[in-house]
Structure 1
Amino acid sequence: MKKNLYTADASAVGGRSGHVRSSTGIIDLDMSVPEGLGGKKNATNPEELFAAGYASCFQQALLVIAQRGGDKLDPETTVQCSVTLFQEGEGYGLSAVLDVDLKAFDRDKTIDMVRQAHKICPYSVGTRGNMEVELKVQGQAIPVQAEENAGVANE
């Protein structure tokens, strides 16, 4: 049974060249097309905000997986998320790369933990079947089974 835990609210005006503000006021940012696409400096964009959210959410999923396994993550553990905006025909899409460095675990254990986190992370679950997500450990791609990026979550 689904149980709602939290709802975030934000509003935008002016699209990619406008402004976003969360209902709490913590996010209150000017938006711009990415600078490399002709946008202005000192403004964020939807892809940057998505990457920040996905990275922090995925790291939380790793913390949960570690705790379930009786492990503890190194405080210097990092999750780097790169979100790419692309055009395909008349439409646009996103893809993501998550690069994880757990610092304290061997490669096999890290790969296993990353795969488990990918199953439970709300961003991974929400994008599954809708966008390509590549998983990496310390810069090296790890094989992702087709079913890990398609359909509904396994858990």
Structure 2
Amino acid sequence: MKPIFTSYATADGGREGHVKSSDGLIDLNLVMPGGDSNETGSNPEQLFAAGYAACYDGALNLMAEKQNKDIDSKVTGAVSLLKDEQDNGFKIGVQLDVEVKGVSQEEAEELTTAAHQFCPYSKATRGNIDVTINTKAQ
């Protein structure tokens, strides 16, 4: 496949280091959540949550547009670091809380299902990460 575009970011120092995008828009210190440090900063799970929420919301709006539905939506991503009992390591889990205005609950659920099939983040995580989608029509 030919890339449509490519984004670059560099991490240095792991979970207690720094991450910076090639254009400088992302330029963040990283800190271990719940660690002993008084430093402030982001973490990989927070960055993943932001990226997944944005990508999924874009897919949701595209699905609505294709079905000629006028919606207003908001997606909140929650990415948790979990203990992996299989190898005594770690894994992540995702919860997407989706608010959809302009359609019924049933239509909102149909749109979120379609978005989950289309979203590149959903495709990348399918079968690898447990993703829960909570849909609420308003």
Deviations 1:74-119 (A, max 9, x none): 2xx2101110001124211001001111122110000000000000
Unaligned stretches of 5+ residues in structure 2: none
Q: Is the 8 A contact 1:21 1:29 kept in 2?
A: yes
| Whole-angstrom distance in 2 between the partners of 1:114 and 1:10 | 29
CA RMSD across the alignment: 1.5
Match of 1:49 among 47, 50, 55: 47
The reply to whether residue 78 of structure 1 matches residue 74 of structure 2 is: yes
| Whole-angstrom distance in 1 between the partners of 2:5 and 2:70 | 26
Query: What's 1:98 paired with?
Result: 96
The two structures have a TM-score, normalised by structure 1, of 0.82
Counting matched residue pairs gives 135
SS class of match (2:69)? coil
Identity %: 39
Unaligned stretches of 5+ residues in structure 1: 140-155
Query: What's 1:153 paired with?
Result: none
Query: What's 1:17 paired with?
Result: 16
- 1:129 to 1:39, Cα distance in 2 relative to 1, 3 A: farther
The reply to whether residue 109 of structure 1 matches residue 107 of structure 2 is: yes
Q: Residue 103 of structure 2 aligns to which amino acid in structure 1? A: F
The two structures have a TM-score, normalised by structure 2, of 0.92
Q: Is the 8 A contact 1:32 1:40 kept in 2?
A: no
- 1:40 to 1:52, Cα distance in 2 relative to 1, 3 A: farther
Q: Residue 129 of structure 2 aligns to which amino acid in structure 1? A: M
Task: Give every structure 1 segment of 4 or more consecutive aligned residues whose post-TM-superposition deviation is greater than 3 Å.
Answer: 37-41
SS class of match (1:32)? coil
Residue 133 of structure 1 and its aligned partner are, at CA, apart by 0.2
SS class of match (2:107)? helix
Residue 39 of structure 1 and its aligned partner are, at CA, apart by 4.5
| Whole-angstrom distance in 2 between the partners of 1:30 and 1:105 | 40
